[in-house]
Amino acid sequence: MAGLFSEQAAVYAAARPAYPKDLFAKLAALTVDHRRAWDVGSGNGQAAIGVAEHYDSVVATDVSADQLRHAAPHPKVRYLHTPDTGPEAEDDLVAMLGGEASVDLITVAQAVHWFDLPSFYGVARRVLRRPGGVIAVWGYNYRLSPVDVDDMLARFFDTTVPYRDPRAQYCIGGYRDLPFPFDDIGLGKEGEPASLDMEHEMSFEGLIAMLRSSAVVTSAKKQGVDLLGERVVKQLEEAWGGASLVRKLTYKAFLLAGTPRADE
């Protein structure tokens, strides 16, 4: 999975929308303590920086060393490279995070659908404080407003179907089918994600950079297929309204949050 994002790390860091500040305040209000948070699949550190405004320290981990090299520094955030895991590696990770029941908040932004979910959830249960620890996962697909941009991107992503990783279906479906075995705390639960709007101003250049940073475009390129060739980019430019136009977009994001079940 790391390879999907390593080659595009610099583009990914520059092209992705920021997460709303009130999201982090809302999550922080749900935890009893605010000593330590763990941001998983941290990438360029967008979520970790937001979490750090509310917690004493944040451990931000990612399987891609290239992504972490482009992460934004912050005095409260410690970035750690975590290669693919096995049972021994999971024990090491728990220790690096501070040990059992040491984490107040776990966040996963636009990444949990790539994980080995049973393994990750097992580690999450071990490190979350009880009671009072919270895990929150969120993501966004390419459902946007205004409608003309949404329709344009839907037509483009129809061309990507042969190159999609099956795990991406969780994100395409808005996490409605994502397993999430945690108790409901009123902010999205398994089968019923909460909705989250993320506003973002974007130029046409930024749009193309965002599309080039997507996993499916990267995967297709590895197979010798350029989904964003000159003809396609020109069609997108016309549908966008011209290369110089900057547009205000709203991403339709989705969120699941919970706490470990008492009987586990």
In this structure, the number of other CB atoms found within 10 A of the CB of residue 173 comes to 14
pLDDT of residue 6: 44
pLDDT of residue 26: 96
pLDDT of residue 254: 96
On whether residue 230 sits in a domain, the answer given is: no
**Rounded to an integer, what distance in angstroms lies between the CA atom of residue 216 and that of residue 220?**
6
On whether residue 49 sits in a domain, the answer given is: yes
On whether residue 206 sits in a domain, the answer given is: no
On whether residue 222 sits in a domain, the answer given is: no
pLDDT of residue 85: 63
pLDDT of residue 66: 86
End-to-end CA distance of the chain: 29
β-bridge pairing 246-259 and 183-184: antiparallel
On whether residue 229 sits in a domain, the answer given is: no
pLDDT of residue 33: 96
Range of the domain at 29: 2-141+165-198+251-259
**Rounded to an integer, what distance in angstroms lies between the CA atom of residue 122 and that of residue 85?**
12
How confident is the chain (264 residues) per 10-residue block, as mean pLDDT? 46 64 96 97 93 98 89 95 78 94 97 94 96 96 83 91 89 95 97 92 89 88 94 94 91 94 81
Backbone dihedral region of 150: left (phi > 0), alpha (psi from -120 to 50 degrees) or beta?
alpha
CATH number of the structural domain spanning residue 172: 3.40.50.150
In this structure, the number of other CB atoms found within 10 A of the CB of residue 57 comes to 16
On whether residue 243 sits in a domain, the answer given is: no
pLDDT of residue 3: 45
3-state class (DSSP) for residue 198: strand
On whether residue 93 sits in a domain, the answer given is: yes
pLDDT of residue 228: 95
User: What's the number of domains the chain is made of?
Assistant: 1
